A and B are shown apart, each in its own frame.
Chain A
Amino acid sequence: MSAKRFDQAHPFLTLALVFAAWLVVPTAVKRVLRAGFFEMQAPVEASASYIRDLQEFWSLKTRSKNDLIEAGRDLIHLNAAYEVRLQQDADLRAQLERLGRLLNLPAPEGYRAEAARVVRRDFSGWWQQLVIRKGSNYGLTVGAPVIYAGGVVGRIREVHAYTSVVELISSPGVRIAACLEGDTRPISYQGGINPTLSPARGEVEYVPVDVFVSPSAPRRLVTSGLGGVFPGGLTIGSLTNVEPSSDGLFKSGGVQLDADLSDLSEVTVLVPEETPPAAN
C-alpha cells in the first residue's frame, strides 16, 4: 500500500526536486542556457524567413510588364519628391549646425539607420514581439529604437549573434515618454490590451486637462525625446479619447496604433552613434 502511494507521489517529488534545484542554478548558467537555446532555433527561423522572401520574389516575378512600368513611373515621382526633401534637409542641417556653433550647444545625438527584415511576428495577449534578421553582427544594441514608415515599432530587448528581439509598443507594460503634436508637455504612453481582429491599442496617462479629443477628431501622439531612447517627433499613434483621471489633476485615455504595425515585414533600427570624446 505504502509502496503504491510512493509510486503515485514519485512524479511530484521529482518535480519538487527539479524546482528546488532550478532555483539554485546560478543566473549566469541560466543566461548561457537561454542564449544557447535561442541560437539553436535562430538559423531555422532565419531560413524560413529567407524562403518567405524567395516566395515573395517569385510571386512578384509573375507580375506583368505593364505593372512594372507603372511602378517605375511612381518611383520616379517619389524620387523627385525625395530629392527636393534632401536638398531642404541639407539646408536645414547646415542652419542648425551654424546656430549650434553660435549658441555653443552640444551636438545632438546621432543615429545610424539599419534596415532589417522581420523573421517572426509573435503577437499574443501576453506579449507582442518581433524577431529581426540582424544582431550583434551589425552592431545593434539592447534598447535601440526601432521604427518604420508609420512611426515607432518598439525597442530592441535582446541582441543575439545574427538576430534580435524587438519589444513592440503595443506590448503590455512598455512605457514611452510622449507628447501631442505641437505641444511639448510630456505624457506617459503605455502599451495596452490588443483586441483580436482589430488594430493594437495603447493607453496614456498624465494628459493635461485642457486637451480634448474624440474618435472623429483625434490628435497625433509623438515621442517627446525625453528619456533618451527615442528621438523626438516619431509617431506613436492617434489619441482618440480622454477622460479625467481619478485624481482630477490629469486625464487618461486610449491610443489607436497603426494597423500596419501588426503586418510589418521590414523595420529600421536606429543604432546610437558613439560620439568621439572631445579633444582638449
Chain B
Amino acid sequence: MKLRVFILSLASLLLVVLLGQLNHYLGPWQLHAWCGGLFVAFAALRLDFRTGAAAAFIGGLLLDAGSPVTFGTHALLFLAAHAAIFNVRARAPRDETIVGVIAALLANLGLFLALSFLRVDLGPDSGEAWMRDFADLLVSQLVLALIAPWFFAVQANLLRMSGTHIRDASRGAF
C-alpha cells in the first residue's frame, strides 16, 4: 500500500508542476486552470479505499502548500470527494476511461464550487467575482477533459511498473 501511495503522490506532484506551468502561461490573460478532480478520480475508481484516500489527502496537501488557504483545506475537500466517488463507483463501469473522465469532471465541478464559496467574499461585487470564477471553471473543465485520459494512463503505467496490478488493488474495498 505504501508504495502505491508513494507512486500516486509522485504522479500528483507531476500534475501540480505541470498545472503550475500552464497557469504561468495563462496568467497574462487572467485565466486559471484548476484540476482538483484529477487528483481524486483515478484512485477512487480503481484502487482500494485506504490507498486512494491517502493519495488524495497527500495530493491536497501538495496544493495546500502553495496556496493562500488554511493548510488542509484542499486535502480535506479531496478526501470528501474521494469518499463520494468511492461510494458510488460500483454503479458504473469504472474501468472505462470515459467514466473516469466524467467522474473527474463532476468531482472538479463540486470541488471548484466548494473552494469558490470558501474564497469569494459575498460583497457588492460578488456577481463579478462569480463571473470570473465561471470563466476559470470553464477553462479548468476543458483542460481536465483534455488531459484526464493521459493522466490516468500515467498513473496506471506507474503502478504497473512498480509491480502493482490495479485489479488486485481494487478488489478489497477497504
Contacts and interface: CB of A to CB of B under 8 A. Distances in A.
Interface string B30-47: 111010000000000000
Nearest to A12: B83
B103 to A, nearest CB: 15
Nearest to A47: B17
Given A14-B83, A37-B62, A192-B125, A121 B68 contact: no
A190 to B, nearest CB: 10
Given A44-B17, A124-B32, A197-B29, A34 B65 contact: yes
B86 A11 contact: yes
A121 B80 CA distance: 29
B72 A38 contact: no
Given A11-B86, A14-B49, A124 B128 contact: no
Interface string B117-135: 0011100010011011101
B28 interface: yes
Contact of A48 (B17, B49, B115): B17
Contact of A122 (B27, B120, B131): B27
Interface size class of A (residues with CB under 8 A): 35 or more
Interface in B6-38: 13, 16-17, 20-21, 23-24, 26-32, 34
A70 B146 CA distance: 44
Contact of A8 (B62, B82, B87, B131): B87
Contacts of A121: 23-24, 27
B57 interface: yes
A262 B28 contact: yes
A125 B65 contact: no
Interface residues of B, number: 51
Interface in A30-47: 30-31, 33-38, 40-41, 44-45
A229 interface: no
Nearest to B139: A196
Nearest to A264: B27
A15 B132 contact: no
B151 interface: no
Interface in B37-67: 49, 53, 57, 61-62, 64-67
B30 A123 contact: yes
B87 A45 contact: no
B49 A10 contact: yes
Contacts of B80: 15
Nearest to A129: B68
Nearest to A25: B72
A238 B130 CA distance: 25
Contacts of B79: 15, 18-19
Nearest to B130: A125
A7 B86 CA distance: 11
B76 interface: yes
A167 B67 CA distance: 11
Interface string B78-101: 011011101100000000000000
Nearest to B58: A37
B8 to A, nearest CB: 15
Contact of B24 (A8, A33, A120): A120
A37 B30 contact: no
Interface string A163-202: 0010100001100000000000000000011111110100
Closest 6 CB pairs of A and B: A37-B65, A121-B27, A11-B83, A124-B32, A125-B132, A38-B65
Interface of B: 13, 16-17, 20-21, 23-24, 26-32, 34, 49, 53, 57, 61-62, 64-68, 71-72, 75-76, 79-80, 82-84, 86-87, 115-116, 119-121, 125, 128-129, 131-133, 135-136, 173-174
